[in-house]
A and B are shown apart, each in its own frame.
Chain A
Amino acid sequence: MNRFIRIENTDQLLKKLNSSYKCKIMAGGTDILINIKNKTIIDSLILDTSLLTDKYSFIKKKDNLIEIGSLTTFSEIAENNLIKEHLPQLKKALLSIGSPQIRNMATVGGNIVNASPAADSVVVLLTKDAKLNILSVNNTRTININNFYKGYKKLNLNKNEFITSIEVEINKEMEIFDFIKIGNRETLSISKVSLAYSIYKNTVRLASGSVNPNPSRLLNLEKIFLDSNLTKKDILTTLENDIEPIDDIRSTAFYRKTVLLNLLYSLKESLSKEDY
C-alpha cells in the first residue's frame, strides 16, 4: 500500500526523505498517479508538495541566468515573459507536452526527475548546460544536468535529495537554437524523436530525446558538426556512436535514427547557408 502525506514545509520534506521510508516526492502528480495505478510505484510514502508551491514556484532573472523553481508548472513557465524573451525554445518544448490541463499541473522538476527518455524540457536544458540546485538535510549542491542521467531512469540524485531550482543561461545574441519534436500529433503526444540545439561561435550543443535510455547530448557529433566538408554520411557514421534507439510502441529504431539524421542534416545545411 502507498501512503500519502501532505508536506507542510521544507524541513519536514528533508527529514522524511532522510528517513528509512521508501519515499516518492509528488509535484504535479501527472506521472506519479499513473505509476501508482500501474503498480510501478508500490509500498511507498508519497510526499505531496502542494503546500511548498509558493516557495518553489518562481522564475527570476539575475544577470545572464534565469532561475526556475522546481515546482513551477509548464504553463507558468511557457506564459512567463522572461522565458518568452530569453528561452523561447524552452517554451516551445513545454508547450509540446501533454495538453493544457496537463501543463497546468505538471512541473519542470517533475519532468526532470521522472527521467523519461523522451522528456522534452530536458532535451532543451541539456543544450543549455542547465544547473540543478539540490538540497538535502545536511548539504546543498549544484550539478550540470548533463551529469544527472546515468541510464534508463537512473539519476545522480540521492534518496534524501530534492531539486529546488534549475538555472539556465539565457540565449546569447547570435546564438542559434531551436527545439524540434516529431510526434504523431500536436497535442498529447510523446516524442518519437526530438532534437534541441544551441550553437554559438565554435560551441555546438546538440541533444536528442527518445534515442537513448535517457535524454542525451550527441557529444561525438558536436565535435565535428561545424566541419565545412561534413557529409550526410559522416553525420550518420558519427551519430551511430551517439545514439542507441530502440523499437517500442511509439516508433522504431530505424525511423528514429533516420529522422534524427534528416533533422541534423537540414540543420547543417541551414548553417552552411548562413556561412557558419
Chain B
Amino acid sequence: MNISFDINNKKININVDPSKRLIDILRYDLLLTAVKEGCSEGECGACSVIINNKVMLACLIPAVKLQDKHILTLEGIKNTKIFNYIQQAFIEKGAVQCGFCIPGFIMSIYVYIVKGGDENEENIKRALSGNICRCTGYEKIITAVKYAVKLKNNE
C-alpha cells in the first residue's frame, strides 16, 4: 500500500504493508531509533510519538492509519527551543538514569510545554502518567519538567 505522510516535517511516500506498525516503520525503515519498543501493548509509553499535535503510541498504530498524518519523533524536535530547555533541565537535574524511557517522556513533556503546561506538580504527573520509568526516577523527571517550564517562561 502507498502511503504519504509527514515525518519530522518532511513529506514522504512509502510502499508498505498496511498492517506494519508505525514503530517498525520508524525504527527499521526510517532509522529513527529514538522511538523505543517497551511493552508492545500500549502500557509503557516508550514508543510515544506526536501525531497531529497529540501524543500517541507507535506500537498500536498500523501503517494503514498514517495517510496525511504529521508525525514527530524526538529527532524532529531536537532543534526546537523547547526541546533544548527540556534537555538542559534533564542534564542539570540529573533526570536520566538508564535512558530507555526518556525519548517517550520527552514527547509527552514537549506537548505539555507547547500547550502551555505550568509548574503544577499534579498537572505534570497527569501529563506524564502514560510513561513508565522502570529505574523509578520519577521525582527527578518531575523536577526537570518544572525547571524546563521555568526556563521557557523566562525566555
Contact B19 A101 (CB under 8 A): no
B21 to A: closest C-beta gap in Å: 8
B60 at interface, CB cutoff 8 A: yes
Interface pair A48/B65, CB less than 8 Å apart: yes
A163 to B94, CA, bound (A): 49
Q: Is the C-beta of B126 less than 8 angstroms from some C-beta in chain A?
A: yes
Q: Does A258 reach chain B (CB closer than 8 Å)?
A: no
B126 A4 Cβ-Cβ under 8 A: no
A residues less than 8 Å from B59 (CB atoms):
33
Given contacts A5-B18, A100-B127, A186-B129, contact A51 B62 (CB under 8 A): no
Report B9 CB to chain A, min CB distance, Å. Answer: 20
Shortest CB distance B24–A (Å): 12
A270 part of interface (Cβ distance < 8 Å):
no
Q: Tell me the bound Cα distance from A36 to B127 in angstroms.
A: 29
Chain B residues near A50 (CB, 8 Å)? 64-65, 67
Chain B residues within 8 Å of A102, by CB? 42, 57, 130
C-alpha gap A5/B63 in the complex (Å): 10
Asked if B56 contacts A105 (CB within 8 A), the reply is yes
Q: Is B54 an interface residue (CB 8 A)?
A: yes
Residue of A nearest to B112 (CB): A100
CB-defined contacts of B61 to chain A, threshold 8 Å = 29, 33, 105
* A interface residues, tally (CB under 8 Å): 27
Q: Is A116 close to B, CB under 8 A?
A: no
Structural contact, A51 and B67, CB atoms closer than 8 A: yes
> Is the Cβ of B60 less than 8 Å from the Cβ of A188?
no
Task: Pick the residue among A33, A75, A100, A187 that contacts B60 (CB under 8 A).
Answer: A33
Residues 102-117 (chain B) with a chain A CB within 8 angstroms? 108
Partner of A37, one of B40, B108, B129: B40
Which of B1, B40, B60 is the most central at the interface, judged by chain A CB atoms within 10 Å of its CB?
Answer: B60
- Is A6 close to B, CB under 8 A? yes
- A101→B65 CA distance, assembly (Å): 16
- A47 closest partner in B (C-beta): B64
Are A99 and B56 also in contact (CB < 8 A) when A37-B40, A48-B64 are?
no
A51 neighbours in B (Cβ, 8 Å): 67
Asked if A2 and B19 make an inter-chain contact with CB atoms under 8 angstroms apart, the answer reads yes
CB–CB B48/A33 < 8 A: no
A76 to chain B, nearest CB (A): 10
Give the CA-CA distance A187 to B43 in the complex, in Å.
10
- Determine the chain A residues whose CB is within 8 A of the CB of B60 once the complex forms: 29-30, 33-34, 105
Closest to A6 in B: B64
Residues of chain B from 1 to 16 with CB closer than 8 A to chain A in the complex = 1
B89, CB-defined interface residue at 8 Å: no
- Contact A101 B55, beta carbon cutoff 8 Å: yes
24 CB contacts below 8 A, A to B, read: A3-B19, A4-B62, A4-B64, A5-B18, A29-B62, A30-B42, A30-B60, A37-B40, A46-B62, A48-B18, A75-B54, A99-B129, A99-B130, A100-B126, A100-B129, A100-B130, A101-B45, A102-B57, A104-B56, A105-B57, A105-B60, A105-B61, A187-B130, A188-B130
Known interface pairs A4-B63, A34-B41, A104-B54; 18 further A-B residue pairs with C-beta atoms within 8 A, sorted by A's residue number? A4-B62, A5-B18, A6-B18, A29-B61, A30-B42, A33-B21, A34-B42, A48-B18, A51-B67, A98-B42, A99-B43, A100-B108, A101-B42, A101-B45, A102-B130, A104-B56, A105-B56, A187-B130
